[in-house]
Amino acid sequence: MVPAKHHHDAHHHEVDPAEMRQSLLIHDRVFARTHREIAEWLGIDRGSRVFDAGCGVGGMAEVFAERAAEVVAVDLDDENVRHTVDRIDAATRRAAIDVRVGDLLRLDDPDDAYDLVWCSRVVHHLPDMLAGVTELARVTKPGGTVAIREGGFGFRVLPDDIGYGERWFEDRLAAAGVGRFGRPPVTEPDSVPYPFGWSQLLVDAGLVDIRAKTFGFDALSPLSDDERAWIEHHWRRWLAREDWRARLQPADIELLGALLDPASEHYVFARTDLHLRAGLTVYAGRRPA
């Protein structure tokens, strides 16, 4: 199914591609509005050529296609590429589109090809992040922009005290989740340590005029179907997977079960005080002319 295998898949064996795709699809529906805000901030010129490195299922590629003259997108996963192609709506697109399977570490694009190179939630998976961003900078035109989405804030939806179990449940969940994803450990032969922040990474890749912005997302009860599906998707996998469950205290496993059970008096979506909040952070730099 996946012709161009990432040579680090072994480190990601715990991530099921179908489940990951599901997560990307729901994410793109929930954050569609935020994606457009990000595109505004990036300032896409109608004549521009945009490259989306590791496009996933195409949430941003779709937005770029509405605004730019040309959009090229690559992803290692051919199913993701198919989703991206399918979602770019012929009615709203104005750009020429080229979506293909490809590895951003080995691009066959010429130097100085794009006005904007976008790479969202991919760099932290790379064994050598600086080599990856340096490759992105290479295909960016002098004066053009490299923008990466990294960091940010994971979502929360509950108040600290929900009147059941110990307070700060979501903070414990977030702490238990640390280290589930991300780059191969630095003890791996070709994993290069990079113990600096995202802005420094752009500087070290030769970019200037670095800027960053966190795009807030807020939704109050009643949440939309997509917002509910997003929360359920993230919480259910804590119960579905033995290796994840093992990271939680038994009392929190029980609490999570009650929150997800429509028959329980603690069912999360019966609450009227939900506040889904998240922060999507983008770092951008310009390639010197």
Residues near ligand SAM, by CB under 6 A:
6, 24, 27, 54-56, 59, 74-77, 80, 103-105, 120-122, 125
CA 24 to chain centre: 8
What is the smallest separation between the CB atom of 28 and ligand SAM, expressed in angstroms? 6
38 vs 248 by CB, closer to ligand SAM:
38
Which CB atom, from 12 or from 271, has the smaller least distance to ligand SAM?
A: 12
Enumerate long-range contacts of 217-220, CB under 8 Å, 24 or more apart: 217/30, 217/31, 217/34, 217/155, 217/276, 217/277, 217/278, 217/279, 217/280, 218/275, 218/276, 218/277, 219/275, 219/276, 219/277, 220/274, 220/275, 220/276
The maximal CA–CA distance of the chain, rounded, in angstroms, is 62
Q: Which is nearer to ligand SAM, 106 or 272 (CB)?
A: 106
Least distance between ligand SAM and beta carbon 165 (Å): 30
Residue nearest to ligand SAM (CB): 56
What is the spatial distance between Cα 1 and Cα 224, in angstroms, rounded to a whole number?
A: 33
Nearer to ligand SAM, 72 or 268 (CB): 72
Instruction: Give least dist CB 4 to ligand SAM, A.
Output: 8
Tokens of 46: 């109608």
Provide the minimum distance between the beta carbon of 259 and ligand SAM in the complex, in angstroms, as a whole number. Answer: 25
56 vs 165, beta carbon nearer ligand SAM: 56
